[in-house]
């Protein structure tokens, strides 16, 4: 059953169309990531669900009833703000208890309930602390506990981990997911961070210019992006501007690339005019100049510009002769990482890994 449904929702500010005819559904207990660059309409969408912004047209439906005309306090939507928005003059206990009295929870029940929520986010001993006495990660968890404390029908997280440093972000991401799963919260995570979106969401909705560019599982978004925008926004990508195709065989065709070399890729149905070819960096093999490529691989000669060993992976930047600069990501420890800057190499990639737009 759909807990939340947006039906053809639009919102404009003057002549700027922030959200343009967006329809969306989310099932009970699911986590949906709303991903996009700033200005794509994801925050406006979130504010319309929360009730801070009224849509110009369309309807916001929670559990079957249209809440479009209801004030934020007449909906039961939990919010975790980007800056956490903890009340600085209240203790952790008071923060978590704040919503309970307004949501009709009996005063006698509140202490036990606050304790349960703080236990959930593993902050049981912090009841009496003030927000300023907590670390960023702890503040984030208090904000989550406060949002969940009133049993909201939908939980909205606005860039929940963006204020934390990289290491803490990874830890909290997993914890956040576990907590949301354990209480079966129906959740929308708004983020511009693709890693956050892909790792937290059961499903990902990519937004662009107020519209939904693609909706799909994290795997589908990455491996089968709907268009060039999604492919570029999610993950890293290398691009070749290619001309028309020729010589079709076995579902693959040759595209004329700018470097004068043809690239073999999947045939795109109804191709007309120029196409863009995208290859993910981890699908590129770096070969020494004399090393033979697999029979059907695309190969191009180039020169190593930079080699960056980043722990598990090594990032190798290569200038293709008369072509673009590409990034290849190789596993550390493989033989394909021992290249020096300035060395002549070849890159190879399988036609199956070429995305055609």
Residues that bind another protein (CB under 8 A): 50-52, 71-73, 76-79, 81-83, 85-89, 98-99, 102-103, 146-147, 150
Residue 78 or 265: which CB sits closer to another protein? 78
Contacts of residue 137, Cβ cutoff 8 Å, sequence gap at least 6: 164, 168, 171, 172
Compute the least distance from the CB of residue 201 to another protein, in Å: 22
The two counts, helices (H) then strands (E), for the chain are 8, 20
Q: How far is the CB of 190 from another protein (least distance, A)?
A: 14
Nearer to another protein, 52 or 258 (CB): 52
**Residues for the chain: how many in total?**
357
- For the chain, what is the radius of gyration of the CA atoms? 25
Nearer to another protein, 44 or 150 (CB): 150
Of 155 and 206, which has the nearer Cβ to another protein?
155
Q: Which of 26, 277 has the CB closer to another protein?
A: 26
Helices 92-102 and 136-148 meet at what angle, rounded to 10?
A: 20
Q: How far is the CB of 130 from another protein (least distance, A)?
A: 11
Beta carbon of residue 52, minimum distance to another protein (angstroms, whole number): 6
**Residue placing its CB nearer to another protein in the complex, 71 or 167:** 71
Q: Which residues contact 10 (CB under 8 A, 6 or more apart)?
A: 17, 19, 20, 21, 22, 55, 56, 57, 58, 210
Cα–Cα distance between 206 and 233 in angstroms, integer? 9
- Residue 289 DSSP SS3: coil
Q: How many CB atoms lie within 10 A of CB 259?
A: 17
| Residue 354 beta carbon to another protein: minimum distance, rounded to whole angstroms | 45
Query: In what helix (H) or strand (E) does residue 175 lie, and over which residues does it extend?
Result: helix 166-182
Nearest distance, CB of residue 288 and another protein, angstroms? 55
Q: Residue 120: which of 200, 175, 162, 169 has the closest Cα?
A: 175
For residues 206 and 221, the answer to whether their CB atoms sit within 8 Å is yes
Q: Which is nearer to another protein, 12 or 82 (CB)?
A: 82
| Of 76 and 343, CB closest to another protein | 76
- CB-CB contact of 206 with 233 (8 Å): yes
Q: Are 206 and 213 in contact (CB under 8 A)?
A: yes
**3 state DSSP class of 262:** strand
Cβ 63 to another protein shortest distance, Å: 17
Q: Least separation, in Å, of the C-beta of 188 and another protein?
A: 14
**Cα→Cα distances 185→126, 215, 317, 354, Å:** 24, 20, 43, 38
Which of these, 21, 24, 15, lies nearest to 55 by C-alpha position? 21
CA distance linking residue 336 with residue 325, whole number of Å: 18
Measured from the CB atom, is 98 or 252 closer to another protein? 98
CB of residue 49 to another protein, shortest distance in Å: 11
- Which tokens in the block code for residue 124? 């049981």
């Amino acid at each position: 059953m759909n807990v939340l449904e947006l039906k053809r929702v639009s919102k404009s500010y003057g002549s700027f169309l922030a959200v343009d005819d967006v329809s969306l559904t989310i099932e009970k207990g699911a986590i949906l990531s709303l991903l996009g660059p700033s200005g794509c309409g994801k925050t406006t969408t979130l504010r319309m669900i929360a009730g801070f912004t009224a849509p110009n047209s369309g309807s916001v439906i929670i559990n079957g009833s249209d809440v479009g005309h209801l004030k934020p306090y007449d909906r039961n939507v939990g919010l975790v703000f980007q800056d956490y928005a903890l009340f600085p003059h209240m203790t952790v206990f008071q923060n978590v208890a704040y919503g309970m009295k307004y949501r009709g929870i009996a005063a006698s029940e509140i202490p036990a309930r606050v304790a349960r929520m703080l236990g959930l986010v593993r902050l049981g001993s912090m009841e009496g602390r003030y927000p300023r006495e907590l670390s960023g990660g702890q503040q984030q968890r208090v904000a989550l506990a406060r949002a969940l404390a009133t049993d909201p029908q939908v939980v909205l997280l606005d860039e929940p981990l963006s204020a934390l440093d990289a290491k803490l972000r990874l830890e909290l991401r997993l914890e956040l997911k576990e907590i949301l799963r354990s209480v079966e919260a129906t959740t929308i995570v708004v983020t511009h961070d693709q890693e956050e979106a892909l790792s937290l969401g059961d499903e990902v909705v990519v937004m662009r210019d107020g519209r939904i560019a693609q909706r799909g599982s994290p795997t589908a978004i990455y491996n089968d992006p709907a268009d060039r925008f999604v492919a570029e926004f999610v993950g890293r990508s290398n691009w070749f501007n290619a001309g028309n195709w020729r010589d079709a065989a076995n579902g693959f065709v040759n595209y004329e690339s700018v470097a004068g070399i043809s690239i073999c890729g999947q045939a795109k149905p109804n191709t007309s005019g120029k196409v863009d070819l995208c290859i993910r960096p981890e699908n590129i093999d770096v070969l020494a100049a004399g090393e033979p490529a697999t029979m059907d691989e695309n190969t191009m000669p180039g020169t190593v510009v930079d080699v960056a060993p980043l722990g598990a992976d090594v990032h190798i930047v290569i200038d293709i002769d008369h072509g673009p600069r590409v990034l290849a990501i190789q596993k550390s420890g493989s033989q394909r990482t021992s290249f020096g800057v300035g060395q002549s190499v070849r890159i190879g990639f399988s036609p199956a890994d070429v995305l055609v737009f």
